[in-house]
Amino acid sequence: MANNKISALIVDDDSIIRKIHKTMLERLFNIEAETVKDGKEAVELCRSGANFDIIFMDREMPIMDGAEATKQLRAMGVKSTIVGITTRAGGEDREEFLAAGSNHCFEKPLDRAKVEVVLREHKKFTI
């Protein structure tokens, strides 16, 4: 049970959001988080062998958006919990994200309550 820290990847093109979400995960939940700024970087990082328990994926990003990145990650066999984050969580974005293979889809911003919902489903999580 030595190192059961949950690992996370934050994928968002906004540097402020990356910083806020990373800090929130680390301070409130003791989750170590790496950050990248678009879907393509996320895919490449996973392809290079990096493994994450949870991937927080923003929807709208340049180069490769969240839904497309989710599709590619699933096609690669990535089993991480993928949490889609969008500015419009009801409707099309949500459908698209879930269809692409994400486990959740929340409206921005990510907050404590939403992270708790995700963690409750994750096997490593203990309160």
Partner 1 sequence: MDRNRTHSLRHLAAIKQSLFDQGHLDEQFIQLEELQDDANPNFVEEIVTLYYRDSSRLISNLDQTLERNPLDFNKLDTIMHQFKGSSSSIGAKKVKAECTLFREYCRAGNAEGCRRSFQQMKKEYAALRKKLETYFQLARQAGPLETAFRPK
From candidates 9, 11, 24, 118, binder to partner 1 by CB under 8 A: 24
Q: How far apart are CA 77 and CA 111, in angstroms?
A: 28
Which segment (7-15, 34-42, 45-53, 94-102) binds partner 1 by CB under 8 A?
7-15
Output the smallest distance, CB 46 to partner 1, in A: 24
Nearer to partner 1, 59 or 78 (CB): 59
Residue 33: φ, ψ to 5°: -125, 130
Q: What order of strands is seen across the sheet that includes strand 54-58? A: 32-36, 7-11, 54-58, 81-86, 104-107
Task: Summarize as ranges the residues that interact with partner 1 (CB under 8 A).
Answer: 13-17, 19-20, 23-24, 27-28, 60, 87, 108-109, 111-112
